[in-house]
Structure 1
Amino acid sequence: MSTPLSVTRIGHACQLIDIGGIRVLTDPWFTQTAVYYQGEPVAATVGSLGRVDAVVVSHEHYDHCDLDALVAGGFDLGTPLIGPGTVATIARGKGFRDVRTVEAWEAATVGDLTVTATPGEHGVHEVTFVIQAHGRTIFFGGDSLRVPELDTIPDRFGPVDLAILPTNGLCVRPMDLRQVVMDAEEAAGLTAALRPAMAVPHHYAFHSGRLGDRMITKADQDPRHYADAVARLAPEVDVRLALPGTVVTVP
């Protein structure tokens, strides 16, 4: 029998992954500013998370690296935090005591958990992650663009149980609509390459506020576009559109 695996979307790219009792928090974001809106309820407070065995952070953008909220919420700063060098520097400055720096194809272990950084591409330095424990494998895509090397993950790591992918195709208006996040079609193409048993989209409800959406960012906020694209490109993959706070169990 497979080790139980579930994921609970806290909001945006903040997910709580549970692999047989090993609990991993991804890309924390619990607060908002004048140009960073979750666009959906945040399903937990820092204090209500319970035990967390590791935190993985893909890059330093505020909506993925809200370390101030963790500190203010009384989070255990001895919890291992895993991320690229840019994130590691910030985390140490905030008082995190067990910071593990990983760049693409480097791994860190926390007990039975192995977290391998995989390539990413975004407006700043970013990595994505393969998270493994007890024979289960999860790919976490942060808010990266589609990077060709990610197609090799099944060959490198074996079958993928769960893929968590961004889908909003975020573009930056002042940069001539430069795209910095994979869109629904690109995410579906990566899903077809990864062949996970289940896929969960994220990073789609976010917006920049009424003025910011007109002047700063442009994005697709409908995850059904991803589900439709996967149905065409990888119909064997089970796509779950999860509201914040909903526990999704992976077979």
Structure 2
Amino acid sequence: MQVTWWGHSTTTIEENGTRLLTDPVLTSRIAHVRRRRGPAPLPAAGECDAVLVSHMHADHLHLTSLPLVAADAALVVPRGAAKLIHADCGPAYSDRCIEVAPGNQVRIGGLDITAVTAAHDGRRLPWSSYSGPALGYRIEGSPSVWFAGDTDLYDGLAAEAGPVDLALVPVGGWGPSLGEGHLDPVRAAEAVRLVGARVAIPVHFGTFWPIGCDWLRPELFLPPGERFKEAMAEVDAAVRVELLVPGESTEVVHS
């Protein structure tokens, strides 16, 4: 399996000719937040068989990026998101949506994908009428993968998402605070332990930051990746941490 991290929560997972794209943000800006590390992903990033969207927040369901995704790609989205996509992008996009909730399964190419719980606010905005469950995804490949989306620790995480070979786990954020429903580097290491992964790739850090706030709490921008690696060594030194830079790929093989 080849995994490419494009920055934030955007990854390409390629296994046996099937390409999945997670939470695509393929531009250099999300509203007041801009990309501070690495260029915008190459056009090839949009080439996929399916998109997996974890929840409706604009840095995960980035409507501006959907036209940059392959026109025939399925859009696997949380229940309720198709209505938002239809209102903003039209039926050419909403007709491709497969809405899921925790426990639902879909098959894309040769991969079986199960939506799992994420302990996170699934509303588009606090005052929005668009809402649905926040999700992670378990991908039954060789190796198996847990893409966490945005989540915190929750009872049942180990049983629902694990055991897996590879964890794509969020370790930070995009601003000078990390609110409820997120993993910091230490809790992310515990999440990886709970799902039994033997390889972990930290994501959701070191990519975007609010415009004009470069000086504000820089320790929350890039350092979470290294802090996660250190925390993982303390929790389970047998786990291999692949600390990628945006645009970098790695190969993960089944044990």
**Which range, TM-score by smaller chain?**
0.7 to 0.9
The residue that corresponds to 1:246 in the other structure is 248
Q: Distance in 2 between matches of 1:170 and 1:52?
A: 25
Q: Distance in 1 between matches of 2:121 and 2:209?
A: 17
The residue that corresponds to 1:232 in the other structure is 234
Contact 2:55 2:135 (C-alpha < 8 Å) held by counterparts:
yes
Specify the SS of the correspondent of 2:6: strand
Does residue 108 of structure 2 align to residue 110 of structure 1? yes
User: For 1:122-167, what per-residue CA distance to the aligned partner results, in whole angstroms no more than 9, with x for missing partners?
Assistant: 233411110123x431000112222222211466xxx412100001
Contact 2:18 2:108 (C-alpha < 8 Å) held by counterparts:
no
Alignment of 1:13-24 (within 5 A): 13-24=9-20
RMSD: 2.6
Does residue 111 of structure 2 align to residue 131 of structure 1? no
Does residue 85 of structure 2 align to residue 91 of structure 1? yes
1:161 corresponds, among 165, 176, 180, to 165
Amino acid at match of 1:59: H
Q: Distance in 2 between matches of 1:180 and 1:170?
A: 14
The residue that corresponds to 1:196 in the other structure is 197
Contact 2:175 2:209 (C-alpha < 8 Å) held by counterparts:
no
Q: Relative to 1, partners in 2 of residues 1:232 and 1:151: Cα closer, same or farther, differing over 3 Å?
A: same
Contact 1:79 1:98 (C-alpha < 8 Å) held by counterparts:
yes
The residue that corresponds to 1:69 in the other structure is 65
TM-score w.r.t. length of structure 2: 0.82
Amino acid at match of 1:127: L
Stretch of structure 1 that moved more, 140-149 or 227-236: 140-149
Contact 1:9 1:243 (C-alpha < 8 Å) held by counterparts:
yes
The residue that corresponds to 1:9 in the other structure is 5
User: For 1:206-248, what per-residue CA distance to the aligned partner results, in whole angstroms no more than 9, with x for missing partners?
Assistant: 3223349859xx9453111100010000111100100111111
Q: How far is the alpha carbon of 1:43 from its aligned partner?
A: 5.4
2:73 corresponds, among 76, 79, 84, to 79
Alignment of 1:170-185 (within 5 A): 178-185=179-186
Q: Distance in 2 between matches of 1:213 and 1:131?
A: 38
Q: Distance in 1 between matches of 2:251 and 2:239?
A: 14
Q: Distance in 2 between matches of 1:63 and 1:116?
A: 22
Q: How far is the alpha carbon of 1:78 from its aligned partner?
A: 2.8
- Structure 2 residue ranges without an equivalent (≥5): 123-132
User: For 1:150-200, what per-residue CA distance to the aligned partner results, in whole angstroms no more than 9, with x for missing partners?
Assistant: 211466xxx412100001167886xxx743311111110011111212100
Stretch of structure 1 that moved more, 34-43 or 177-186: 34-43
Contact 2:138 2:161 (C-alpha < 8 Å) held by counterparts:
no
Stretch of structure 1 that moved more, 107-116 or 185-194: 107-116
- Structure 1 residue ranges without an equivalent (≥5): none
Residue-pair matches, total? 236
Specify the SS of the correspondent of 2:145: strand
Q: Distance in 1 between matches of 2:157 and 2:39?
A: 29
2:158 corresponds, among 151, 155, 165, to 151
Q: Distance in 2 between matches of 1:82 and 1:233?
A: 33
Q: Relative to 1, partners in 2 of residues 1:52 and 1:10: Cα closer, same or farther, differing over 3 Å?
A: same
Specify the SS of the correspondent of 2:212: helix
Identity of matched residues, % = 27
TM-score w.r.t. length of structure 1: 0.83
Specify the SS of the correspondent of 1:242: coil
User: For 1:49-73, what per-residue CA distance to the aligned partner results, in whole angstroms no more than 9, with x for missing partners?
Assistant: 36411110001112111232231x3
Q: Distance in 2 between matches of 1:43 and 1:239?
A: 24
